[in-house]
Structure 1
Amino acid sequence: MLVLTLGSLFDGISVFPLAARLNGIEPVWASEIMKAPVSVTKRHFPGMLHLGDITRLNGGKVPPVDIITFGSPCQNLSRIGDRQGLGGVKSSLFFQAIRIIKEMRDATGNIFPTIAVWENVMGSLVSGNRADYGAVLAAFTGRAVPMPASGRWANAGMVRGAGIDLAWRLMDAQYWASPRLARRQRIFLVADFRGRRAAEILFKPRTVQHITVAGGKGGNPAAQGNRGPFIETGGRIPQVRPFQMYRMRAAAVKQNHAQFIGSFGREGDPYTTILSSRAAPFAFWYEDDQAGGCIRCLTERETERLMGLPDGWTEFGVTGERISPTQRQRALGNSIALPCACYIMAGIRETID
């Protein structure tokens, strides 16, 4: 099997490297500045280089890799952010990643990287009156990409030209594992610099690889059952439902009693979007005591499971220190769902082989 290597920019807690390793791709280096995520990553990937601040990197001087992944900061692109777009201080770091890719390709005679994968919030499709996503495509292709006749960017699409092949797709994590994960809609863009394989990587049906053991030292096996209803029950049967705050507010205004009760969650409701800024509440009760139920927030382990991650992935740092609950939830909220990353890495592995 061909040896493939990966570098991860804006690495966070190394979900892309974990997905790569699960598909026979070697993570070589990562760039991240937040201390807690770096410590988590060093625990699971002790041999991976840590390059630090992306703004200080020269792509021509770091070890060349086949694949570069990056989920650049989304705060200025998100619908719940400040909506400054790619001109915002944080989201403009996207162009630093593009710079590094170009520097590496210049230094290696356009051999490395072969593939780049970019991830961001679905708000990037509409940010800046839809001009920001056009800027993203132009940054990859080196030329302006015209807006479709519809006046909006589709949730899936392709741009094919001389020297580069692009495909993107909106993926919702809740549909990429069974039983469902958390609702998490993200744009994934694949750029192929040496072929026409982006669509095959991103659109071809394939089985998502399930996680059975935690990667690296210090983790516990992931749950094989439903990742959402994780409660130490002592033999009692728990009922767990995602709490629908907006549904409750609408029901209260309309004085609709049935809808109000339904806001405590219906069978099959997807779990709410996991945010880095606040914990997601859900309704919980025991089957024999519905009146004694409550609304509470997810634990860190529950959040890991709703992201498809192994149990305890963010619990400890490199020296065995415990990562605080606040830092764990923030890191998980800023991360990506593992099954989505695994699907893309499996596509790269399969297509390049």
Structure 2
Amino acid sequence: MTVLKLGSLFDGIGVFPLAAVHCGIEPVWASEIEARPISITKRHFPDMLHLGDITKISGAEVPPVDVITFGSPCQDLSQIGTRNGFAGKKSSLFYQAMRIIEEMRYATNGRYPAFTVWENVAGAFSSNDRLDFAAMLSAFTGAEVSVPPRGWAHAGMVRGGRADTAWRLLDAQYWGEPALAQRRKRVFVVADFAGQRAGEVLFKPRTVLPFSSIGGPGGLSATAGSGVPAAQTGRQVPIVRPFSLRRMRTMAQVGDQKGFCASFGRGGEPFPTLLASVTAPFSFWYEGEERDGFLRALTPLECERLMGLPENWTKYGCKNEEISDHARYRALGNSIALPCAEYVMAGIAEVMN
């Protein structure tokens, strides 16, 4: 059986390549411009080519691959960003990825890539009066796609045209084994240039892979441990209440006291979406001992766990240099939840094999 190959644009810290490896797909090359994420990825994938700036890559000249993944910059699409959409300086880089895909397909007579995967924030559904999402679908299918009267559903597909294209909004809190304790809604778009299998990739139920035990030196699995609730062991029961900083700031600005208090969260709630710009604080105490509780921020290791990544995935670079906490927070906030990426990669591997 031929080994499928993957290219990763806007690679970040190598989450799509990691998901690919878990599904029997070989990562061949990646494009990224930030030094620390590149070093982290090189540590874990020393044989993968690094192509640098996406604007300087020719799809006709790089090694052809079966799958191209790209989570293009979200700043102009995000509901907390500029909302300039694909007209924005950063999110417009989506079209550079499409250029590379088209160049590779032309150079290989339409054989490569067979699949592409685009990942981005849920704000892509609504940016530019919902027209950006239509433009994205048109770019993949080569056909004119109009905005539905009621806006974009959280799952759907466009059949016909150049590529069979499906999309689905995945929230990290419902993925993983056990499920991740983080709200992180991201839209995944799968385009099949070689058939009509996009819906089979995104909508077919399949087993979620267990967390990996691969990590840095001495790295442990994100699920290492017995998994037995503290109460059953006779130990004290910890209470964790994550804060929603976005909501807290908004409620403070408008003077909404009830909303401000609600931003402190409730016991058992997942953490809000990890951001690249700020670390997530939370309150912690043991049941019945609220007065001894304290506030603190998540550590980079805890952020890795919330993303479903192996422990210490971001701790070291390719030369064994230790990555600063600031750089780790930024890289993780810009990254992808591993279980969601694995679900998509598993679907592609399944239909192509």
Normalised by the length of structure 1, the TM-score is 0.91
SS in 1 for 2:195: coil
* Distance (Å, rounded) in 2 between the aligned partners of 1:15 and 1:344: 12
- After superposition, what is the alpha-carbon deviation per residue over 1:20-68, rounded to whole angstroms, capped at 9, x for unaligned? 0011110000000000000000000001000110000000000000000
* Distance (Å, rounded) in 1 between the aligned partners of 2:134 and 2:276: 27
Sequence identity (%): 58
Q: 1:155 to 1:225 in 2, by over 3 A?
A: farther
Kindly state the Cα deviation for residue 192 of structure 1 after the two structures are TM-superposed. 0.1
Q: 1:217 to 1:299 in 2, by over 3 A?
A: closer
1:266 is matched with: 266
Kindly state the Cα deviation for residue 212 of structure 1 after the two structures are TM-superposed. 3.2
SS in 1 for 2:272: coil
SS in 2 for 1:161: coil
Q: 1:195 to 1:289 in 2, by over 3 A?
A: same
1:322 is matched with: 322
1:155 aligns with 2:184: no
1:15 is matched with: 15
Kindly state the Cα deviation for residue 223 of structure 1 after the two structures are TM-superposed. 2.6
- After superposition, what is the alpha-carbon deviation per residue over 1:128-177, rounded to whole angstroms, capped at 9, x for unaligned? 01111111111112221122232x11111100113310000111001112
Kindly state the Cα deviation for residue 301 of structure 1 after the two structures are TM-superposed. 0.3
* Distance (Å, rounded) in 2 between the aligned partners of 1:103 and 1:113: 10
SS in 1 for 2:291: strand
Q: Unmatched 5+ residue regions in structure 2? A: 230-234
* Distance (Å, rounded) in 2 between the aligned partners of 1:74 and 1:160: 26
SS in 1 for 2:292: strand
1:165 is matched with: 164
1:232 is matched with: none
* Distance (Å, rounded) in 1 between the aligned partners of 2:47 and 2:23: 18
2:173 is matched with: 174
- After superposition, what is the alpha-carbon deviation per residue over 1:302-331, rounded to whole angstroms, capped at 9, x for unaligned? 000001001000000001001011100000
Equivalent AA in structure 2 for residue 26 of structure 1: E
SS in 1 for 2:170: strand
Equivalent AA in structure 2 for residue 113 of structure 1: P
Q: 1:263 to 1:187 in 2, by over 3 A?
A: closer
Kindly state the Cα deviation for residue 213 of structure 1 after the two structures are TM-superposed. 0.8
Q: Unmatched 5+ residue regions in structure 1? A: 230-234
* Distance (Å, rounded) in 1 between the aligned partners of 2:117 and 2:299: 30
Q: 1:249 to 1:193 in 2, by over 3 A?
A: closer
User: Is the CA contact (8 Å cut-off) linking 2:212 and 2:309 kept in structure 1?
Assistant: no
Q: 1:318 to 1:254 in 2, by over 3 A?
A: closer
* Distance (Å, rounded) in 2 between the aligned partners of 1:254 and 1:36: 40
* Distance (Å, rounded) in 2 between the aligned partners of 1:165 and 1:89: 28
Q: 1:143 to 1:317 in 2, by over 3 A?
A: same
1:185 is matched with: 185
Residues matched between the structures, number: 344
Kindly state the Cα deviation for residue 225 of structure 1 after the two structures are TM-superposed. 5.4
* Distance (Å, rounded) in 1 between the aligned partners of 2:80 and 2:214: 32
Normalised by the length of structure 2, the TM-score is 0.91
RMSD: 2.4
Equivalent AA in structure 2 for residue 156 of structure 1: A
2:61 is matched with: 61
User: Is the CA contact (8 Å cut-off) linking 2:6 and 2:27 kept in structure 1?
Assistant: yes
1:2 aligns with 2:28: no
1:286 is matched with: 286
* Distance (Å, rounded) in 1 between the aligned partners of 2:273 and 2:181: 10
1:201 aligns with 2:201: yes
- After superposition, what is the alpha-carbon deviation per residue over 1:184-203, rounded to whole angstroms, capped at 9, x for unaligned? 00010000000000000000
Equivalent AA in structure 2 for residue 112 of structure 1: Y
User: Is the CA contact (8 Å cut-off) linking 1:265 and 1:283 kept in structure 2?
Assistant: no
Kindly state the Cα deviation for residue 286 of structure 1 after the two structures are TM-superposed. 3.1
Kindly state the Cα deviation for residue 237 of structure 1 after the two structures are TM-superposed. 5.0
* Distance (Å, rounded) in 1 between the aligned partners of 2:256 and 2:54: 50
Q: 1:216 to 1:19 in 2, by over 3 A?
A: farther
* Distance (Å, rounded) in 1 between the aligned partners of 2:265 and 2:89: 38
SS in 1 for 2:315: coil
* Distance (Å, rounded) in 2 between the aligned partners of 1:248 and 1:268: 22
User: Is the CA contact (8 Å cut-off) linking 2:215 and 2:312 kept in structure 1?
Assistant: no
Kindly state the Cα deviation for residue 244 of structure 1 after the two structures are TM-superposed. 4.2
1:111 is matched with: 111
What aligned pairs does 1:302-321 form with structure 2 within 5 A after superposition? Answer: 302-321=302-321
- After superposition, what is the alpha-carbon deviation per residue over 1:215-252, rounded to whole angstroms, capped at 9, x for unaligned? 5766333233599x9xxxxx865322222453798699
* Distance (Å, rounded) in 2 between the aligned partners of 1:218 and 1:104: 40
SS in 1 for 2:12: coil
* Distance (Å, rounded) in 1 between the aligned partners of 2:87 and 2:40: 31
* Distance (Å, rounded) in 1 between the aligned partners of 2:49 and 2:274: 29
User: Is the CA contact (8 Å cut-off) linking 1:43 and 1:217 kept in structure 2?
Assistant: no
1:345 is matched with: 345
Q: 1:256 to 1:172 in 2, by over 3 A?
A: closer
Q: 1:158 to 1:185 in 2, by over 3 A?
A: same
